[in-house]
Amino acid sequence: MAGTFALRIVSPEGDVLKEDVEFVVLPGGAGELGILPNHAPLIAGLSVGVARYTLNGTVKRVALAGGFVEVADNSATVLADTAELSEEIDLQRALAAKERATKRLSAVNTETDVKRAEFALRKAVARINASEDKK
């Protein structure tokens, strides 16, 4: 094995994940950001999406809704606006949220907050994608 590094994902509710992992891919602002052990120091913004990490050869997923990552001293710390482990996602609730956001966007009027509806849709899709991959 090539080695591991400490991955910590924190949301306003507290620690979501604290593990030594082999690899992590995060949804960066300009595309996916891959981190391996002994990565160079880095601070980057994150967007809405699915983070994937490898733990003992198994890929696991976390739905993220923005935030930042700091990489230093063989550890990565994600400060997320929201973060949810794939096994904790209520798929039916995420599907309902996607449906609500889609309806709001298809019936845009002067009272519709389009940016908020688009954000809700991206967040619901990330939760669905993280949940459906938990085979």
| pLDDT mean values, one per 10 residues, the chain (135 residues) | 88 95 94 95 95 92 94 96 91 88 79 79 87 61
Domain ranges of the chain: 5-86, 90-132
Topology of domain 90-132 in CATH is: 1.20.5
Identical fold between 5-86 and 90-132: no
CATH 3.20.20.140 fits 5-86, yes or no: no
Model pLDDT, residue 1: 45
Look-up of token digits 């052990």: 37
Q: What is the pTM of this model?
A: 0.83
* Per-residue confidence (pLDDT) for residue 73, from 0 to 100: 95
